[in-house]
Structure 1
Amino acid sequence: MIQNSFIPFGFQYYRSPTPFRDQWEKDLSNIAGQGFNCVKYWVQWRASVSKEGIYQFDDIQELMDIAQRNGLKVILNVIFDVAPAWFYKKYPDSKMITADGSVLEPRAINCRQIGGAPGPCYHHAAAATEKAKFLSEAVKTFKDHPALWVWDLWNEPELTTGIKRKLSFDNQVCYCEHSVLAFQEWLKNKYITLEALNESWQRTYGSWEEVETPRGQGVFNDLVDWRLFMSGTLTDELRSRVETVKSLDLLHPVMAHTVPAPIFNMITAGSDDFKLAEPCDLTGNSLGSSAWSADLLISAAKGKPIINSEIHALPGNTAMKPRQPELWKMKRHILTPLARGITGFLFWQYRPEVLGQEAPAWGSVYLDGSPTPWYKDMAHLNKLVQSNKQELMQAKRRGDGIAILFSPQNQIANFAAHDHLDTYNDSLQGVHKLLHELNYKVEFLHETDVTEETLEQYRCLWMPYPLYLSRKLCNTLREWVEKGGILISECSFGALQAENGCHSYTVPGYGFDEVFGVRETWIHSAENLDHSYHQVAFESRTAIPILNVMKHSKEAETAADDKAQGSYYKSDIELQSQVKVLADFAEDHMPALTSAAYGNGRAVWFGTLLAAAYWQDGHSGTLQLVRDLLQQELKLQPNVQVSGGVRADLSEWEVEQNRGAFLYVHNEGNELAEARVTLPAVYTYAEPWFDNGNVRIQPIDSLKPSTTTLTMKVEAGDVQVFRLS
């Protein structure tokens, strides 16, 4: 079903009504003529069904035929969040309602110029029926067309198509009667009895019909349930679309492409990349050009093929014009995800937009259709990729055995506690940044995937600010640590309990004070209330100084590296006698970082939000502290060793008894890097992809005969690729 030898490389082309018909033939011929092989067309509900019961796909049909004549494969991106005007007239009760009572009237927005956004409520029965009819007609019309490659069934899944994406309690949806009834049914299925719901929410409901939908800040479990329900609604919607397609077309794969956290959140967007990947044959991403989003998407895909569905190389609008991207920037868009195993690339978009606020941005070519310098760079990168496609499709990276816990429930609870997501997002992204800059392969593990079996794949699990946890999860983690796993946690582990939404009497919770050998007796926040009516959000950026007392690893450079930084919270603790202290708070020398043996494993505790601090300031001492912790104290070395301030990824392949690898070396700094990279295999030849790529393979080290060391110079911001054999 999925073509294993095909690496799509091309453009989003058509979002009706642009580009206009008189440009189609020339544009698609030019795209194919430059060596590109794939385009994406939007099939929009409002555009194709402007009259009830009449389905018109003439524009898409003509575009498909032109693509076929030019040897281009097509992704059909079916768009449902632009409901026809007749539908809203017929079903006025289908409009979504926010927590503050606002009705989301249909409208045109910058990325839905034909109107009808954000579409009807996902729990409206007639809407579900009409969307299924539209999709079925589209599938029946195009399933046998030779140009069709993939059905993309959701462009950036979220609840309101960006209209109410801004994070706030008031922007939550949907509070219409259809969603309220569906939520009550969801709660029945989860809790079975009303008594169980009342215990979880700490309420006194006498019937399921009395259950209210949460609206504001107050308690935790009701909001966690409410947002998990709405996020699950998106996943169920996608699953329904997949089932519709597969009932009619078993030949072509299905996908959706998401936008990564923190841009899309669980509160107002509802998008969970892991859950949305489950029903699909392959998956994709917008904004997938960064290491963060690529690593997150790869973890969510769980081995399924991935394409970078929307490369945002020229963002802008009528007011803020796009920058002209240089070659090094274009290389990042392709090579950062390619280094991680993403093998598909579509730029948004071919022509600059001419309709609405997005004009005149986003163009890979000029407004008149003539080639830009960056269009030529795209073509050059495509040729390099296609000339190595057989090996690229087989190439794999070795894991380093470290995962970051990804917890939607904890994200929701953080919002309920803080009225923002900075603590959660800064911590999550901060852990990624630390591991990325220390050259580990970064993986994420979704909380619902934590089992005895999945944990066996990892040596170490890092839990960013694990404020909200469950007994089931903690029991699994305890057994894993006891058998030899390494658990790293920031402060407030399980302070909020999922079983009843209450604060634990002991922190760490769920008996993990015995696992960590630490009991938090007091936690100081960097800001405090002056009185009970002091209406402020806790958004401190105050650095909390920490002293590293570990022996430095070989990467230590200066005495200043002894000083690290935490953020948001500082914990006072009682310590068991056998616990090892690895860092102190500078203020009072209270332990800030500890390590304890538990069974055959280890439990490491931070008394602050260290990763959030690193996300905010990138302090070199914080990086050194984590390097010392992982490499000296815990003996967790990355497979690919680097020095000189670069990031290096090794992707190994074996094709027809020939073996080799691709080495990607990325200088993310602002100065020329003189780098040294040591690989866990022997290679004798390195061929650069780019003319300015220079590399030397060093003589084999007799003490490490199964490794290869290479030295190279990489310009600031640049990425170099070497084919090794």
Structure 2
Amino acid sequence: MIYVGTQYFRAPTPAEANWENDVRQARAYGLDYFRFWLMWNWYSRHEGAYDFSSLERLLDICARHGMKVLMLVNLESVPAWLVKKHPEAVYRDAKGGLYMPESVGNTPAGGFPGLCFHNDAIREHGRDYIANLVRAFKDHPAIECWEPHNEPMFEPGRYNDHFYCYCDATVLAFQAWMRARYGSIEALNAAWRRNYGAFDEVQPPRRRGMYNDWLDWRTFALETLVSTLEWRIETIRENDPDHYVMIHTRGGSGVTRNLAKEGIDDYRMAALVDKYGTAAFPQCGPEHEYFIAMAGARCAARGKEFWMAELQAGPYGMGVHRNDAEPVCEFCGSSTMEATIDKKVGAFDPGEVTPERLAMWSWSGIAQGAKGVLYWQYRNESFGLEYGFGLTNLDGTPHARLEVVKSFHDTIRANEKLIDGATLPRNEVAIAWDPVNDIVNWTAVGCADAVKNSIKGMHKALWHADYPIDIVRLDTDVVDDDFPAYKVIYLPFSPRITAGSARKLAAFVRKGGTLVAEGSSAQFDDTMAVSPVVPGNGLDVLFGCRRADVRTMHHELIPSLRIGALKICTRMHKEVLAPLKGARVIGTFATGEPAVVENKTGAGRAVYIGSNPFIAYAGTADPSLVKWIHQVNKGVARHAWTNVPDVIARVLVNGTTRLVFLMNTLAKPVSVTLSVPAGGRARPAVRELTSGARARIALAGGTLSIRERLGPYGTRVYAVGPRA
């Protein structure tokens, strides 16, 4: 089953007068599913009493029209009576500042961010709300599933740069967690290099600077978040064992978000539920970034069904700005976002959300194996700061984007067996990362941008070269990913690599794999002391080199890399390498020092780059780096490819038929040649599913070529299979 639906209700909108017509119209335009946000304070005006009558009326309308509903339980909208009763549970930041529950962009009816669940009373009241809500509607014919939390993360950090919570209950919980983690105060003192006498003397860190303090503090926060999800899910399942439970994360999934600040660990969260997904609001970010988000969610789901669980459906809008990606005010220099986050947002042109662009985004999810596309949202939001995003016009009448959704839905339903039964072919390239490096980098400099841009740059370069990738975990804290399943693994900037991870990488290379790492890897050992040898934990032997000297340099000053005839832009580190015996220098800095070393070990090879060209690529695409990637990936199968870097090809397989997706991510028309391995000499049958347009096809040298002229954000979906 391929699910096509949209976010619809979040109190107080849409108005009840619109419900009947909206549901009828949405069904007529191919939408089978609505999501509702079920705001705690909206249904609990007084302690011990719940009024779900309005929700029941809306669900009854949905049932009459055959609309199924995803029920998202929102506890981050605390009732005012509970705030009054338990002021000690108000979120507290490191300086003692309180975050009083209020109205924000995604919670216009107030109560955000809720109260701290380390306080037992808040947790019990939250469980009571969930239990009463689920019991009230578990047998309603409109119910499809439950979600326990909207985009789980460290609240209320989504709306400012502070860290929470430092309330008394949280500090006590942290001290108990530390006691369980270390067993004795002597063990803690050895790890933190302190001289405490008892665990009740230990305070969570409040300023950056010490790695072990922050690693423990953030790990505690992450385990707390997971524990909160566990009791929410447990409460749902205790009261309704028949409907599935799913979670979706904030746009970008954990692989592109700062774990230290947000706490998004897709692997831990996906393990708790039946289905998993992530959000995508591509208008305001590079097109390649929602591709990596989908890859991250898919891989974290580990075989479970995953969804494009929030897809931007209309122009970005906040406050009085619309379709302009939050420019800084031309008059005062402020931004609407300053109402919700403590930083300015620069001006740039995000382009229009045209019907064609929405169609391309929709198909890109299916092309990566998603089994559901859920749009944000049906109507334009009419109350609060989140103004925009809708599939309809302001008055609720259909916009051309809604017509595109109907076409998308109808194409899927007409080819349901083919599309739903199609799966991704095995990918031979992976990016391996460890979320702990987010915490390390944040503790050092106050952000995780170097780590994240390294990951994004790796993906972007491989994306431009049409190598679909998997995201795998370098650490084994949550999962133990199968490295030998891949031919090439890319290792982004990773200042900490544990001894266990280093051994796993070495085994991968010895068995025939190719490993490519960016500079300054494993500069800390397992205790977070600086390693006397970089790369540390034995990786100097694997890569056949050691750091001789290092400088962090401004991107305008750092010399480029020279690999053969290629001149490659780089960024951040100039790490001069000293090759070990048997290793080979294959690249230098423009200033002549050794910069790239290759070492053959067992049946494989390891390549160490003493700089960060992928961080550079995240900002500015360098065709020379893509050329080098093709050299590194020699022998890696591509399922399909194009001759235009930003026109992306992806493949799904269903028996002897391949679904080939051709997606123009550019806002301009392009002429492109799509190439697909033919799998034999016989000329295959090719059918285009979305438009019925005839394609210009050629077969030569075992490769099927299809020439197309695509409009801005144009998409084609081909079924390629044997002739009848």
Common fold by TM > 0.5: yes
Q: Give the Cα separation in 1 of the matches to 2:453 and 2:657.
A: 38
Deviations 1:449-478 (A, max 9, x none): 487762232222211011012122222222
Q: Which residue of 1 is the match for residue 339 of structure 2?
A: none
Matches within 5 A, 1:298-317: 298-314=298-314, 315-317=316-318
Q: 2:577 aligns with which of 561, 573, 591?
A: 573
CA contact (8 A) 1:675 1:714 kept: no
Q: 1:358 aligns with which of 372, 378, 386?
A: 386
Q: Give the Cα separation in 2 of the matches to 1:25 and 1:89.
A: 37
Q: Which residue of 2 is the match for residue 668 of structure 1?
A: 665
Question: What TM-score comes out, normalization by structure 2 length?
Answer: 0.90
Displacement of 1:694 in angstroms is 4.3
Q: Give the Cα separation in 2 of the matches to 1:254 and 1:541.
A: 50
Asked if residue 547 in structure 1 is aligned to residue 562 in structure 2, the reply is yes
Matches within 5 A, 1:123-272: 123-162=118-157, 164-166=159-161, 171-259=162-250, 260-261=253-254, 264-272=257-265
Q: Give the Cα separation in 2 of the matches to 1:331 and 1:414.
A: 37
CA contact (8 A) 1:309 1:345 kept: yes
Q: Which residue of 1 is the match for residue 514 of structure 2?
A: 486
Q: Which residue of 1 is the match for residue 615 of structure 2?
A: 612
Displacement of 1:692 in angstroms is 7.6
Q: Give the Cα separation in 2 of the matches to 1:717 and 1:583.
A: 38
Matches within 5 A, 1:320-719: 320-322=321-323, 325-359=353-387, 361-449=388-476, 454-498=482-526, 500-527=527-554, 544-549=559-564, 562-587=566-591, 589-631=592-634, 635-645=635-645, 646-654=647-655, 659-669=656-666, 670=668, 672-679=670-677, 681=679, 684-691=684-691, 693-699=693-699, 701=701, 704=702, 708-719=704-715
Q: Which residue of 1 is the match for residue 719 of structure 2?
A: 723
CA contact (8 A) 2:678 2:684 kept: no
CA contact (8 A) 1:694 1:713 kept: no
Q: Give the Cα separation in 1 of the matches to 2:132 and 2:48.
A: 10
Displacement of 1:376 in angstroms is 1.3
Q: Give the Cα separation in 1 of the matches to 2:556 and 2:107.
A: 37
Displacement of 1:582 in angstroms is 2.5
Q: Give the Cα separation in 2 of the matches to 1:293 and 1:456.
A: 23
CA contact (8 A) 2:519 2:608 kept: yes
Q: Give the Cα separation in 1 of the matches to 2:419 and 2:171.
A: 48
Over 3 Å counting, the alpha-carbon distance change for 1:636 and 1:305 in structure 2 is same
Displacement of 1:518 in angstroms is 0.3
User: Amino acid of the residue matched to residue 588 of structure 2?
Assistant: D
User: Amino acid of the residue matched to residue 331 of structure 1?
Assistant: A
Q: 2:60 aligns with which of 58, 62, 65?
A: 65
Q: Which residue of 1 is the match for residue 269 of structure 2?
A: 276
Q: Which residue of 1 is the match for residue 81 of structure 2?
A: 86
Deviations 1:229-281 (A, max 9, x none): 11222111112111111112221110111112477422222222222111010
Q: Which residue of 2 is the match for residue 537 of structure 1?
A: none
Displacement of 1:187 in angstroms is 2.0
Over 3 Å counting, the alpha-carbon distance change for 1:312 and 1:111 in structure 2 is same
Over 3 Å counting, the alpha-carbon distance change for 1:407 and 1:617 in structure 2 is same
User: Amino acid of the residue matched to residue 589 of structure 2?
Assistant: F
Displacement of 1:395 in angstroms is 0.8
CA contact (8 A) 2:588 2:595 kept: yes
Displacement of 1:431 in angstroms is 0.8
Displacement of 1:283 in angstroms is 1.1
Displacement of 1:95 in angstroms is 0.9
Q: Describe the SS at the equivalent of 1:432.
A: helix
Displacement of 1:447 in angstroms is 3.4
CA contact (8 A) 1:200 1:501 kept: no
Displacement of 1:146 in angstroms is 1.3
Residue-pair matches, total = 679
- Over the aligned positions, Cα root-mean-square deviation in angstroms equals 2.0
Displacement of 1:601 in angstroms is 2.1
Displacement of 1:541 in angstroms is 6.1
Q: Give the Cα separation in 2 of the matches to 1:98 and 1:542.
A: 39
Displacement of 1:297 in angstroms is 1.1
Q: Give the Cα separation in 2 of the matches to 1:354 and 1:51.
A: 27
Q: 1:11 aligns with which of 6, 10, 17?
A: 6
Q: Which residue of 1 is the match for residue 36 of structure 2?
A: 41
Over 3 Å counting, the alpha-carbon distance change for 1:133 and 1:611 in structure 2 is same
668-677 or 267-276, which deviates more: 668-677
259-268 or 14-23, which deviates more: 259-268
Displacement of 1:193 in angstroms is 2.7
CA contact (8 A) 2:158 2:262 kept: no
CA contact (8 A) 2:360 2:664 kept: no
Q: Give the Cα separation in 2 of the matches to 1:667 and 1:366.
A: 26
Identity %: 27
Q: Give the Cα separation in 2 of the matches to 1:455 and 1:680.
A: 29
Question: What TM-score comes out, normalization by structure 1 length?
Answer: 0.90
Q: Describe the SS at the equivalent of 1:699.
A: strand
669-678 or 110-119, which deviates more: 669-678
* Structure 2, unaligned runs of 5 or more: 283-289, 325-351
CA contact (8 A) 2:411 2:690 kept: no
Over 3 Å counting, the alpha-carbon distance change for 1:386 and 1:714 in structure 2 is same
